[in-house]
Structure 1
Amino acid sequence: MTGAAVNRVAAAIDAAAEIEDPVTEPLDAGKPRILIEHCDPDRTVAALRDILSSAGGLYDRGVPVRLAFDQLQGAAVARVITADSLVRIAHEVCRPFALKELRDGTVVEKNARLPRSLAVMYLDWRGDWRLPPLNGIASAPVLENDGTIHCDEGYDRGSGLWRENVPALAGLVPDRPTLGDATAALRLIRETFKTFCFADASTVRDEATGIEFVDTSVPPGQDESGFIAGLLTAVCRPSLHLAPAILIHAAPMSGAGAGKGLLARCMSIIAFGREPHAVTSGSTAEELEKRISAELMEGSPVLFLDNLNNKAFKSDLLASAITERPARVRVLGRSQMVQLNASALVILTGNGLSVAEDLARRFIAIELDPRTENPEARAFPNDIQAEVTARRPELLAALLTIWRWGRLARDLPKGRTLGSFPQWCPWVRDPLLALGCCDPAERVSEAKERDGRRQAIGEFFSAWWDSYRDRPMPARDLGDELTRIVNPQGRDRQYVSSLLEKLAGTRMSGFVLTRQPAAGKWGVATYALKMTGEQQRHRDHRGHRADEAPQTDAEGPMPPMTPMPSGTGEKSELHDPGRQQWKARV
């Protein structure tokens, strides 16, 4: 059946439904009425827009959505409004009617069903729904830059968040915390999670149980510091414009059962009062992108990708969602991209997991090492997940004490610059540095080193320098042993030329690849490596360094270029500027 036929059938069904409505049926009292005008659908859609925007319950998340209670998650999620569901919602909040002329010429009102076509028109009216924005669903308090903590529930217009299950923290967080208060709060967090096997932590052994605990008498290491920073990030995430994601990983095979998923669940319970639902990556990259889009559209406080084992994870959509706000995502079932203010905390877990390409600088890395071949056989004296559930207000108050102390303190030490997250650094990272934690930003370079593609390019540059130093080389003259590093499949030379074109300007392993354009019709582009260092400073808008004098003839002649072929001999030098340029330089 063609599209036109489908539309005619739908119109006939709508008309039949209107005719079958009894004229004598009383109109619903108390509901606003909306006149169905088939000849002027814009007026009906505008009236519907005004009624829905004033009735409440609908929100703008790139598309109209409503809040629905999910029994499995035990909390609200955002559901995209379809045309059919909009018809039902419209009848819940108003009473559509039509005018009918009787045989005696009298015009009467009769109940009518809102045509589905008008619902479609409403949904297509992007930018004029007049609905409040929904940036996410949060069960953590809303925080302000001056240290104010809001624990109210319901919709917050200032942040665009729907808040529920926020614990009452009155009297638990000091109004003006001292250094001693923040230090005690950090000690409480460390003591609660000391049974987790952070890879570089100093440990002590309990002779009675045989269990190794983190030694909390010494400052936390990189992995424990990454966890504490990730936990405080989770608490602050609804109020942060952007925040780094969290990567929890362990060794391949022997890392199974190390507690990666348990640690992620404990973080979510403390920050949001509920467990995250785990999402796997699927069998293809396209399926992964669809799952990420669906999870972000739901507005859940956590996007938890679990069991990403033995892979270098990459996702352009996830990279955009972490560092762009709004980010553009595709609505499932539609060829439509929408702008989405994603406020979800992103957590990735897996054995042998690393993040590749541009994701490397967007994650706080936490490595677990159970130091045994059978981590699942370890016994612990308590159920940590049940404990953090029961003690959520206490642990949440401890984290907010650290946060408020950092907001009110002055002259805190600052760590390494972490691009894209200027608000996260003073809110989360800097207070923890002042309390003796390590800087999670220092792990960014380690994440880059784990990226296999970066390793291959670094090896390629080093081998290039050993063979050619800084001589300009065309792609066709590179040796087979060199090109095999980045072209192990042995594809044609065109692939190598295209790769070098993309790598021009790339800085890796202390080198930068430069490109010299072809001169004249018969010339070819050449590439050369230059060593980078502190002596290379910022270049001005003309490409010269501030401390670099312009080249003169005293510096020596330019390197000779590849001679131009003579062609057919029919062209004169007057008509071949490239040849003139080459002869002048020679």
Structure 2
Amino acid sequence: MTSASEIATLIGSAEEICIASGTKGAKPRLLVENCSPDLTVTAIRDAIAAAGGLFERGVPVRLAFDQAQRGAVAQVMTPEALVLKAHTISRPYMKKERRDGTIVEIDARLPRSLAVMYLDWRGEWRLPPLNGIASAPLLREHGEINSTEGYDATTGMWCENVPNIHLSVPLKPSRDDAAAALQYVRETFKTFCFADAETIETAPGGVVTVDISKPPGRDESAFLAALLTAICRPSLHLAPGVLFRAAPVSGAGAGKGLLARRICLIAFGREPHAVTAGANAEELEKRISAELMEGSPALFLDNLNNMAFKSDLLASVITERPARVRLLGKSQMVPLNASAFVILTGNGLTVSEDLARRFVTVEFDARTEDPELRPFSTDIRLEVTQRRTELLAAALTIWRWGRTAGGIEPGLPIGSFAQWGRWVRDPLLALGCQDPVTRIGEAKQRDGRRQVLADVFAIWWDKHQHHPVTVRQLHDEVRQALDPQGRGRQYLASQVEKLSGTRMAGFVLTRQAAVGKWGSATYALTKTDSAENHRDHRGHRDAQLPREFEVGADTAYAPYGPYASGANATLLDCNAEVSECAPNSDAVADRQSEPASSHGWSARL
């Protein structure tokens, strides 16, 4: 019979048998040492980096499926979420000393304090960067289209639900292919009430449609640029946003939100969720920051009615990469590579100050007091949903033609968006669309602050001409324009000082420093050279269009392939001669080898 001492010896020397439950036994062990947090946090870092599933977006984030959006979003990791992640990929344990001096391993819960240390260990996470989530194919400079799903290390994008459209887009599209693709897109969206479009009157009780036998107007051209921008946005370093605007009151129901959602459905395979402005500017900035951190393909700010929209954060995000945003609930700024397609909609909406040059504007006018009562014979929602792949292929045909064809003339220069100009704007211009950049001056004129400043300069010139004056010598009408509330001389002096060097309405305000200890600075308004015609703060000059290309002229703004005739046909032939001056035999062979039924949009025409 075994004695009690022998039984104790056998128990002490026995090995623990682990019964597998799920994948518990397969998890790597993670030693938790409270007295050596540096070692433990390093072990957590290495385990998470090896397991994958987390990304860096200024802070560690994970991809979570959002049922409402039917796609992934980036969720910022909290200490609690990190504890759960650590237990999901590993089995934390601690070492404990028994009374007899032996060391045993026991399962343990990862302390929250160690999770906080990991999240604060910026620069040492060793996580792949996440620049955004894309459901459109990733594009390359020379016309390559990548439809692979998953993480793309080159762009830092997570790709999901990307349609395979390689057989639907010609390898080397011709001008006729691009023109047919543009015609297909225009045919699909011809029922939208673009403000300056030439229309066709239908039967009584029907809906007025765009006359697509004529070149696109400014607003339809801006829409086409918006669609191509959305599709290219995940692959573009920077791109302007899009502003859909209608008249106050009577603009409700004109189709702004509907068109924004259809564009996103084509580009991303899902509709965006609308975000409102909130009660004040601070709340708006918080909402924009939260939406951008999620990494969704689109940022959709809706119902910005009767306001001059201003957002320093959005201005920075559109033209800077990375931009710095503030984490909600923390006094911490983090760098963020935002790749979201930005959309603003509203009735009586304008963008103020420096946002004017950052948006492509589309005007809507239903030519009726009750746009929502217009009858439609087709369901544009269902139609675009069913034909998403064909519409996406048509847009990418235009894009690829612009990337592979030679001799495409660039449009007006636009600061920060040179790549966008080559990829999106220039191919559309070559096909007869109008340049959306020409509307930037119009957007600036709508800015109420600029209008007030123009009035101030006009009054100043009327009272003082080019003569230098001190603030004390300003005429009462100039004082009233600069300080309508009568806040006093110090306020007036500060306002004039801020305007020094400003160019507006054909004038520039210059400042001459004070002479001597008791002197006063003087200010003089000078007329600028009429030929200067600055377009924006970078000093680019507007190109002067010939009379025949001016808006409202009898002839088209630019040649448009399928419809050119007469004088326009001559211009078209000249452009075609440039683009076809070096025919590529490989392109002909590629076109002949492609199946005739591969281009769905072409067959439908």
1:90, 1:476 → 2: CA distance? 69
How do 1:549-560 and structure 2 match up within 5 A? none
The equivalent residue for 2:383 is 387
Corresponding residue SS for 1:360: helix
1:412, 1:535 → 2: CA distance? 27
- Kept after mapping to 1: 8 A contact 2:206/2:376: no
2:182, 2:426 → 1: CA distance? 14
The equivalent residue for 1:213 is 209
How do 1:135-154 and structure 2 match up within 5 A? 135-154=131-150
Deviations 1:316-373 (A, max 9, x none): 0000010000000011111111000000000000000000000000000000000000
2:471, 2:26 → 1: CA distance? 78
TM-score normalized by the length of structure 2: 0.84
Counterparts in 2 of 1:348 and 1:97: CA distance versus 1, 3 Å: same
How do 1:265-414 and structure 2 match up within 5 A? 265-414=261-410
Moved more, 77-86 or 457-466: 457-466
The equivalent residue for 2:251 is 255
2:28, 2:323 → 1: CA distance? 37
Per-residue deviation at 1:483? 2.3
Deviations 1:63-102 (A, max 9, x none): 0000000011111100000001100110000111111011
Per-residue deviation at 1:25? 7.2
Deviations 1:508-545 (A, max 9, x none): 0111111111112101111111111167799xxxxxxx
Gapped regions of structure 2 (runs ≥ 5)? 1-15, 535-605
The equivalent residue for 2:455 is 459
- Kept after mapping to 2: 8 A contact 1:504/1:513: yes
Deviations 1:455-494 (A, max 9, x none): 0111111111111111111112212211222322222121
2:502, 2:210 → 1: CA distance? 41
1:224, 1:536 → 2: CA distance? 30
1:115, 1:108 → 2: CA distance? 19
Per-residue deviation at 1:167? 0.9
1:342, 1:164 → 2: CA distance? 18
Per-residue deviation at 1:170? 2.4
Corresponding residue SS for 2:511: strand
The equivalent residue for 1:224 is 220
> Paired residue for 2:77, among 75, 78, 81?
81
Q: Are 1:129 and 2:93 matched, yes or no?
A: no
Per-residue deviation at 1:382? 0.8
Per-residue deviation at 1:209? 4.5
Deviations 1:207-238 (A, max 9, x none): 26432110001100000000000000000000
Moved more, 203-212 or 26-35: 26-35
Q: Are 1:61 and 2:49 matched, yes or no?
A: no
The equivalent residue for 1:181 is 177
> Paired residue for 2:194, among 198, 212, 215?
198
Q: Tell me which amino acid in the other structure corresponds to 2:373.
A: A
- Kept after mapping to 2: 8 A contact 1:79/1:298: yes
2:44, 2:446 → 1: CA distance? 55
Counterparts in 2 of 1:537 and 1:375: CA distance versus 1, 3 Å: closer
Counterparts in 2 of 1:536 and 1:397: CA distance versus 1, 3 Å: closer
> Paired residue for 2:429, among 433, 439, 452?
433
- Kept after mapping to 1: 8 A contact 2:238/2:420: yes
1:451, 1:483 → 2: CA distance? 22
Q: Tell me which amino acid in the other structure corresponds to 1:33.
A: R
Corresponding residue SS for 2:168: coil
1:357, 1:518 → 2: CA distance? 31
The equivalent residue for 1:43 is 39
2:245, 2:482 → 1: CA distance? 28
Per-residue deviation at 1:409? 1.1
How do 1:555-574 and structure 2 match up within 5 A? none
2:116, 2:379 → 1: CA distance? 51
- Kept after mapping to 2: 8 A contact 1:25/1:111: no
Q: Are 1:100 and 2:86 matched, yes or no?
A: no
TM-score normalized by the length of structure 1: 0.86
2:492, 2:236 → 1: CA distance? 43
Cα root mean square deviation, aligned? 1.4
Moved more, 261-270 or 461-470: 461-470
The equivalent residue for 2:578 is none
Q: Are 1:524 and 2:542 matched, yes or no?
A: no
2:406, 2:520 → 1: CA distance? 58
> Paired residue for 1:165, among 161, 164, 170?
161
Per-residue deviation at 1:495? 1.4
The equivalent residue for 1:487 is 483
Q: Tell me which amino acid in the other structure corresponds to 1:252.
A: P
How do 1:472-483 and structure 2 match up within 5 A? 472-483=468-479
Gapped regions of structure 1 (runs ≥ 5)? 1-22, 539-586
Counterparts in 2 of 1:66 and 1:430: CA distance versus 1, 3 Å: same
Q: Are 1:113 and 2:112 matched, yes or no?
A: no
Corresponding residue SS for 1:318: helix
Provide runs of 4+ in structure 1 moved above 4 Å: 23-27, 534-538
2:363, 2:530 → 1: CA distance? 33
Percentage of identical aligned residues: 65
Q: Tell me which amino acid in the other structure corresponds to 1:527.
A: Y
1:246, 1:486 → 2: CA distance? 33
Aligned length: 516
Deviations 1:82-130 (A, max 9, x none): 0011001100001111110111110011111111100000000111100
1:486, 1:329 → 2: CA distance? 34
Corresponding residue SS for 1:99: strand
Moved more, 487-496 or 423-432: 487-496
Per-residue deviation at 1:148? 0.2
Q: Which has the higher contact order (CA 8 A, sep 6+)?
A: 2
